[in-house]
Amino acid sequence: MAKKFRNFIDGKWVDAASGKTFENRNPADWSKVVGTFPRSGSEDVDSAVRAARTAFDQWRLIPAPKRGDLLRKVGDIMVAKKEELARQMTREMGKVLAETRGDVQEGIDTAYYAASEGRRLFGHTVPSELSNKFNMAIRVPIGVAGIVTPWNFPMAIPTWKIFPALLCGNTIVFKPASDTPATATSLVEILLEAGIPDRVVNLVHGGGGEVGMAIVGHPDVDLVSFTGSTAVGKKISEVASNTLKRVSLELGGKNAQLVMDDADLDLALEGVLWGAFGTTGQRCTATSRLILHEKIFDKFLEMLVNRVAKLKLGDGLQKGVDVGPCVNEGQQKIVQSYVEIGLEQGAKLVAGGSIPKGKLLKKGWFFEPTVFSEVKPDHRIAREEIFGPVLSVIRTRSLDEGVRILNDTVYGLSSSVYTRDVNQAFRAVRDIQAGITYINAPTIGAEAHMPFGGVKQTGNGHREGGWTVYDFFSEWKTIYIDYSGGLQRAQIDNYDR
> Which one from 250, 368, 464, 475 is the annotated catalytic residue?
250
Exposure of 116 in the CB half-sphere (CA atoms within 13 A): 9
Cβ 288 vs Cβ 254: under 8 Å? yes
Instruction: Give the span between the Cα atoms of 258 and 402, in whole angstroms.
Output: 7
Catalytic annotation present for 168: no
> Which one from 284, 326, 464, 475 is the annotated catalytic residue?
284
Cβ 329 vs Cβ 25: under 8 Å? no
Cβ 52 vs Cβ 20: under 8 Å? no
Instruction: Give the span between the Cα atoms of 378 and 416, in whole angstroms.
Output: 20
Helices first, then strands: H and E counts in the chain = 14, 19
3-class SS string, 96-157: CHHHHHHHHHHHHHHHHHHHHHCCCCCCEEEECCCCCEEEEEEEECCCEEEEECCCCCCCHH
Phi first, then psi, for residue 271 (nearest 5°) are: -65, -45
Rg, Å, the chain Cα set:
24
- Counted residue by residue, the chain has a size of 497
Catalytic annotation present for 284: yes
Active site residues: 250, 284
